[in-house]
Structure 1
Amino acid sequence: MPRVLVSDKLSPTAVQIFKDRGVEVDYLPDLGKDKDKLLEVIGQYDGLAIRSATKVTEKLINAATNLKVIGRAGIGVDNVDIPAASRKGIIVMNTPFGNSITTAEHAIAMMFALARELPEASASTKAGKWEKNRFMGVEITGKTLGVVGCGNIGSIVATRGVGLKMHVIAFDPFLSDSRAQELGVEKVELDELLARADFITLHTPMTDKTRGMINADAIAKMKKGVRIINCARGGLIVEQDLLEGLKSGKVAGAALDVFEVEPATESPFFGLENVIATPHLGASTSEAQENVALQVAEQMSDYLIKGAVSNAINMPSITAEEAPKLKPFVKLAEVLGAFVGQVTEEPIKEVEILFDGVTASMNTRALISAALAGLIRPQVSDVNMVSAPIMVKERGIVLSEVKRDKSGVFDGYIKLTVTTEKQTRSIAGTVFSDGKPRFIQIKGINLDAEVGQHMLYTTNPDAPGIIGLLGTICGQNGVNIANFQLGRNKPGGDAIALLYLDAPFPEKVLAELRANPKIASAKPLKFDVAAA
């Protein structure tokens, strides 16, 4: 039974979801604040469910020897060292939809409050003043709302703005024309948005490209009297530059739910009347907190029990519905990669993966990750589908994917081709009705070979006596052959043999085989499949 640690406060209903789905769970909501104690116990768990209090550092990840998945109840994963988790093969999930509406509504509320100066007006009235003429706000109807980032939350804000009779313009590198039309917004470049918007609201993730995107240069491009709302990430704004803009009057007001350093117990913004500040309340509604807690429990349970992957930051998603159908092809992709990885000794420069027929319509990102994991595992034993793509990228290997309609007798197959300085190698395979992977082509030579745990791969010129030679050497040394497959490209040309063995091929027998002039090469292989 997989075991999960919940180290931050989570809904009791979420904890019960783990239990109901067959996951053992330890609910220790204050443990995330105790770094030393968390470091001491983390090695016992397969999963870690967190909010924002637990800091998942590289040191913690290195101590998490059994950890398979980290689930963040919320959108932001700034408190997780994702590169370190990926290198260790740990899936990092978040819950991007559970608090989208809540955060979007908070941004809209901040916009209203900013337009009508509500917090200052409320404080003044409660102080016994009646300063009706002091608080002269602006209407939002007819104003231009600039939405930076039009993903889950930004798109909700955009549609709310349209409903409020605002003219909504949006900047997002991934926003398509059809999606913009569907939302009823005008798609523009960032500089145009900065120049035209009366209100600018930020809804983009924190990346190297977006960090500090609202700086002095950006503010200089804005119209005088612009109002800025940030309910996304504090680091998107250079706070000193915004402060200068507010003091100069270029920026009429700002509504900030997030800050560069949190908790923000002191800030120069707090002394300004034209700034509204809230303590990172974007996702703080009872509905949202419950939603993200339930969602992370369901996602982690589905992965640990069924192998389904959803909302992962560092791995392709695999739905619970497609997981059973995809599983045998994931294994196929892995053994294809493992075959090439074991027979290739020189550095790999390029990898091409071809998906033919039904495989082309599958979740090919997951299949590619599996193939790369098999390819690298002979050199790095603890690699998996999460860490393999990163390792391939770090090694400078060029990866390409090809999809095509059915082109042969098989409903679908996968072909892996790798290129080194010296040669190109290829292998293709498919899955039969029994769900087991089969090799169907090696070096362009057709054959039909079941994949076994222990195998021997040989190459030789096509000549009489090879079958007898292999059988004699194996028989004389007590090596039992479970299955024997042969193939050649033409009579008298290149030939290959694949022997499915009951046990690993002995080194001394391998030396004898390699010494025979009729054998060009001989390579023992091992695959992570159950022995027949």
Structure 2
Amino acid sequence: FNKIKNTILEEIKNEDEEVVLNRYLNDVFEKEPSVDNKLLDLDNVVVTPHLGANTVESQEKIAIQAAEQALEAARGISYPNALNLPIREDEIPPFVRPYLELTQKIGFLAAQINKGVYRSIKVITQGDISEFINSLTTFAVVGVLKESLGDSVNYVNAKYVAKEREVEIKNKVEPNISGYKNKIIVKLTTDRDTIEIGGTIFEESVQRIVEINGFALDVEPKGRMILFKNTDVPGVIGQVGMILAKHNINIADFRLGRDKHGLALAVIIVDDDVSKQILNELESLEACISVSYAIL
């Protein structure tokens, strides 16, 4: 019980019907540290450290949580415990939180793939998630801008920073014809290209990228990603695998999307860092149209 609150007193009457103090509970001393307080000399006084959370177990959990959040923040994908969010945390329904995280990841991914001078960031929503399109837009802008501006961008200043750099921020609610309960799309336009990435949530919290520039995919937005676009001809997957194997790069997952125009897009998740030399070798393949690398 804190000193600023009411202390707990229990009074009883002795044999002479006089009121005496039976118990006294308080959280802190008048002055701390209290090393010369006379109460400390009494046998019927119990004093404990004012460090309720300072146990080995709690400190370990705090350290792990802090490390995880620091890593997510460094990757531009974190928002837990952030101040001044664009929506009050107590107003966020549980089903919305994974979409906020996913939208920021998609923005961060789009900025790594489509490098250049940002022209516009557009968020498109389908389904019930559309009610929160303004908050989703803020998270998308944070994800995009963090790729180049790092920690100087946050949920409060992101849209102002974008405006200063003459980046147009747009959003749009569309009828839900995707086949998913909810779907979000982030469209990033730069002076070089336009990329459009769509995602959804399965089973309440399973995040998935389901579309990149019209290619249907099913990709977990996590880890080291090589995006390889090519003409859809025999032997390409084998050639890509040989180059990665030559450099001791292990493939953790391989997802392929194909269109009706004879093109394919592979999203290759790898366990190891990919150097510029490896990307150049992949790009030199005859069937290659483009290759990019991103980390989430």
TM-score for the superposition, normalised by structure 1: 0.39
Give the aligned partner of residue 345 of structure 1. Answer: 115
Q: Pick from 247, 271, 276 the counterpart of residue 502 of structure 1.
A: 271
Q: Secondary structure at the match of 1:479?
A: coil
**1:104-156 CA distances to partner (integer Å, 9 max, x unpaired)?**
xxxxxxxxxxxxxxxxxxxxxxxxxxxxxxxxxxxxxxxxxxxxxxxxxxxxx
Q: Distance in 2 between matches of 1:488 and 1:504?
A: 26
Give the aligned partner of residue 47 of structure 2. Answer: none
Distance 1:359 1:521, change over 3 A: same
Q: Which amino acid aligns with 2:219?
A: A
Higher fraction of helix: 1
Q: Which amino acid aligns with 2:135?
A: A
The answer to whether residue 151 in structure 2 is matched with residue 374 in structure 1 is no
**1:416-443 CA distances to partner (integer Å, 9 max, x unpaired)?**
1122344322111111116132111111
Q: Which amino acid aligns with 2:181?
A: D
Give the aligned partner of residue 169 of structure 2. Answer: 399
Give the aligned partner of residue 517 of structure 1. Answer: 286
Q: Is the contact between residue 510 and residue 522 of structure 1 (CA under 8 Å) also seen in structure 2?
A: yes
Q: What displacement does 1:12 show?
A: 4.6
Q: Is the contact between residue 370 and residue 384 of structure 1 (CA under 8 Å) also seen in structure 2?
A: no
- Which ranges in structure 2 are unaligned for 5 or more consecutive residues? 6-78
Distance 1:517 1:435, change over 3 A: same
Q: Which amino acid aligns with 2:174?
A: R
The answer to whether residue 225 in structure 2 is matched with residue 444 in structure 1 is no
Alignment of 1:161-240 (within 5 A): none
Q: Is the contact between residue 353 and residue 368 of structure 1 (CA under 8 Å) also seen in structure 2?
A: yes
Higher fraction of strand: 2
Q: What displacement does 1:338 show?
A: 1.0
Give the aligned partner of residue 128 of structure 2. Answer: 358
Q: Which amino acid aligns with 1:500?
A: I
Asked which structure has the greater CA Rg, the reply is: 1
Q: Pick from 88, 101, 104 the counterpart of residue 318 of structure 1.
A: 88
Q: Which amino acid aligns with 1:415?
A: I
Q: What displacement does 1:445 show?
A: 1.5
**1:213-261 CA distances to partner (integer Å, 9 max, x unpaired)?**
xxxxxxxxxxxxxxxxxxxxxxxxxxxxxxxxxxxxxxxxxxxxxxxxx
Q: Distance in 1 between matches of 2:275 and 2:206?
A: 26
Q: Distance in 2 between matches of 1:459 and 1:427?
A: 15
Q: Distance in 2 between matches of 1:390 and 1:336?
A: 20
Give the aligned partner of residue 173 of structure 1. Answer: none
Distance 1:495 1:317, change over 3 A: same
Q: Is the contact between residue 360 and residue 405 of structure 1 (CA under 8 Å) also seen in structure 2?
A: no
Give the aligned partner of residue 419 of structure 1. Answer: 189
Q: Distance in 1 between matches of 2:128 and 2:242?
A: 42
Q: Is the contact between residue 456 and residue 499 of structure 1 (CA under 8 Å) also seen in structure 2?
A: yes
**Sequence identity (%):** 27
Q: What displacement does 1:339 show?
A: 1.6
Q: How many residues align?
A: 220
Alignment of 1:83-122 (within 5 A): none
Q: Secondary structure at the match of 1:426?
A: strand
Q: Distance in 1 between matches of 2:204 and 2:194?
A: 31
Q: List structure 1 runs of 4+ shifted beyond 4 angstroms.
A: none
**1:144-172 CA distances to partner (integer Å, 9 max, x unpaired)?**
xxxxxxxxxxxxxxxxxxxxxxxxxxxxx
Q: Is the contact between residue 114 and residue 193 of structure 2 (CA under 8 Å) also seen in structure 1?
A: no
Q: Secondary structure at the match of 1:458?
A: strand
- Which ranges in structure 1 are unaligned for 5 or more consecutive residues? 1-10, 14-303, 528-532
Q: What displacement does 1:480 show?
A: 1.1
Alignment of 1:138-149 (within 5 A): none
Q: Is the contact between residue 484 and residue 498 of structure 1 (CA under 8 Å) also seen in structure 2?
A: yes
User: Which gives a bigger RCO, structure 1 or 2 (Cα 8 Å, sep 6+)?
Assistant: 2
Q: Secondary structure at the match of 2:112?
A: helix
Q: What displacement does 1:329 show?
A: 0.9
TM-score for the superposition, normalised by structure 2: 0.68
Q: Distance in 2 between matches of 1:508 and 1:308?
A: 38
